[in-house]
Structure 1
């Protein structure tokens, strides 16, 4: 086994959590080269993984809305990149048409994908020469790792170390020069995932009392307005300027605490092993949540948003000083979902949100 291509193109949180399979493949096949195919919008993520040799940026949005010769050139260039290397193995961890097309265009003789029942889009089955082992009813991120390990016959560490290395900023963010700060990711692309502003205000005030400066990131004008409304009610809090994904990642890397809804950037915090609390309101916590005792916790669930008290209790559980006082070193293990006796088994389709 010389070279493997992993195909996981979207979304941000899915691409982040899937990075753990790179370490598994390197341990299973010493000396193997691992490349990654991803939507160009999320290409930074595998670039931050030292175990990934080459990142192939698929211009997927241009496939849908090709307007000029520049778009055509980008599409042709991405196809040429796919065919430049000879892959011993292609593994499609996404299971939809766009990932299947990428897998097929490699012309590899061994292209693995999910069984038809587990595909996000059944028509994607055309691209695969082999099937993965049956997908378990499992946490989405642990399920990806187990699927590959069972298919290719290698064992995996239950809790692999963090794998992402965020580029250091040329100039340290201003917030990093002040007192420790907490990032509050209040914004989300789906309205049903939101947590009430009054709750964010209550949490922000509690963090100020703990000696943390709440920082509020945003991505759209509407999110900025929401952030400003929260900041007006929370003393010493700050609304950050518009940041690139790399700049946000650098803030996450420096944060003392991250609290946010079930979004990609909060998954980044957990992948970096920052003290993290993830809030669930409209998606399945057992399927998509993160849980490392003493490091990151998920609260709430689909249709059952957590209370302010639940979130504050989770914050207390992941506070670094609490671990130090108990004589525990912050753990660096893979996020997984704790069993929930009140929840139903999660769906078996690949994660694609």
Structure 2
């Protein structure tokens, strides 16, 4: 690609989920370094917007509230209205190129709405999304980590990058919130390990008894407190863990934004989580992190010195959304002692 062909106005589409958007953030930096004078925008759904709002490599974040609660007719009417408004906004930006990192029909739909002259997407996109791309990139191996896979599609634009560092913007106000939360919760002078026990896939969960036992082991052996992060929907699980734990972890689930949760992670000595967006946010923030994996495709995650995995080798792992066992045996096989052993080096520092 010659300099004359450089795109002046670029739209990146990665709508959801939180972890997936985080693993796409290296693209923003790569594009900015390759095209420093170009206008670069990112389209994202509201539930994951905090991941990219404040990213210094972007000129604009365009947020789509695709769905709302309510009856089917109300939701359908909202979708039509929101899509029309989104399309109007996108077309007003006059994008040269739209890069779809999602590879689903709804993200391809956003590319079409943008009116971009070039629509770029993955050749292995799902749900017929490939029918809507002008240019298709074949990522090759399915074992490639998500960050590099997202970067590699930029080769269509003449961009080469291996900088897979994710970026999660945290503001001073978020850090002030975290400091106040620690004070109000009696954690200001304590070592704290943050738990991320919940995700939208039930078969990625670990058992509540396991979380409770880890909390008690941390307190009994190291005098380290535990804190449970999550969304409002995760409060029942958090309450169950607290009920089973003698050490009574503090619950922040349902009380924070994503960015505020990130600021709480910054104040924690380590983070332990299942395969969920908050876990990947901890990795993006370069926090010492322990991931508990089994049902999801964990083997292709990018290894780092301060990101260790606890997983048992089962022939059916990963089963993704279609477990063939009754009790998600791969997750139940993880023991509290396994988890404590993984996090112990950071606690003892």
Do they fold alike, i.e. is TM over 0.5? yes
Shift of 1:44: 1.5
1:316 maps to which residue?
344
Name the residue aligned to 1:242. Answer: 254
**Residues 195 and 99 of structure 1, relative CA distance in 2, 3 Å threshold:** same
Distance 2:133 2:267 in 1: 42
- CA distance in 2 between counterparts of 1:258 and 1:66 reads 42
- The 5 Å alignment of 1:272-287 reads 272-287=285-300
Aligned equivalents of 2:15, 2:218: Cα separation in 1: 36
Answer with 128-137 or 47-56: which moved more: 128-137
Is 1:150 matched with 2:155? yes
Which of 273, 291, 299 aligns to 2:303? It is: 291
C-alpha distance in structure 1 between counterparts of 2:151 and 2:236, whole Å: 42
| Partner residue of 2:104 out of 77, 96, 99 | 96
Structure 1 counterpart of 2:168: 164
Q: Deviations over 1:211-248 (max 9, x none)?
A: 42101234356x43432332242425222362243332
Unaligned runs of 5+ in 1: 323-353
Q: How many residues align?
A: 314
SS in structure 1 opposite 2:126? coil
> Which residue pairs with 1:105 in the alignment?
113
Distance 1:106 1:225, change over 3 A: closer
CA distance in 1: counterparts of 2:340 and 2:269, whole angstroms: 15
- 1:183-198 paired onto structure 2 within 5 Å: 183-198=194-209
String of CA shifts for 1:256-315, please: whole Å, max 9, x gaps.
21101101111111111111111112112113x34211x112221636333333322321
Q: Distance between the aligned counterparts of 1:159 and 1:284, measured in 2?
A: 18
Q: TM-score, normalised by structure 1?
A: 0.79
Asked if 1:174 is matched to 2:187, the reply is no
Q: Give the corresponding residue for 1:206.
A: 217
Per the alignment, residue 130 of structure 1 pairs with 135
Sort the Cα spacing of 1:149 and 1:310 in 2 relative to 1 into closer, same or farther, 3 A. farther
Matches within 5 A, 1:3-152: 3-61=9-67, 65=72, 67=74, 73-115=81-123, 118-121=124-127, 123-152=128-157
CA–CA separation in structure 1 for the residues paired with 2:30 and 2:168: 14
RMSD (CA atoms) = 2.7
CA distance in 2, matches of 1:134, 1:218: 33
Q: For the structure 1 residues 149 and 90, does the alpha-carbon distance in structure 2 shift closer, same or farther, using more than 3 Å as the test? A: closer
Q: Distance in 1 between matches of 2:59 and 2:34?
A: 17
C-alpha distance after superposition, 1:28-64 (max 9, x if no partner): 2222332111112221211032212111122322699
Return the match for 1:262 from 275, 278, 282: 275
TM (norm. structure 2) is 0.80
SS at match of 2:286: coil
Counterpart contact for 1:133–1:151, Cα < 8 Å: no
CA distance in 2, matches of 1:321, 1:4: 47
Cα separation, partners in 2 of 1:263 and 1:153, compared to 1, 3 Å: same
Q: CA–CA distance in 1 between the matches of 2:44 and 2:164?
A: 25
**8 A Cα contact 1:95 1:114, kept in partner:** yes
SS state of the match for residue 290, structure 2?
strand
Contact 1:135-1:143 at 8 Å conserved across structures:
no
Paired residue secondary structure (2:23): helix
- Looking at structure 2, the residues matched to 135 and 245 of structure 1 have their Cα atoms a distance apart, in angstroms, of 37
201-210 or 167-176, which moves further after superposition?
167-176
Preserved contact between residue 130 and residue 136 of structure 2 (Cα < 8 Å): no
| Helix, strand or coil at the partner of 1:30 | coil
1:17 and 1:2 map into 2 onto residues whose CA distance is: 24
Q: CA contact under 8 A between 2:101 and 2:121: conserved in structure 1?
A: yes
Contact 1:277 1:296 in 2 (8 A): yes
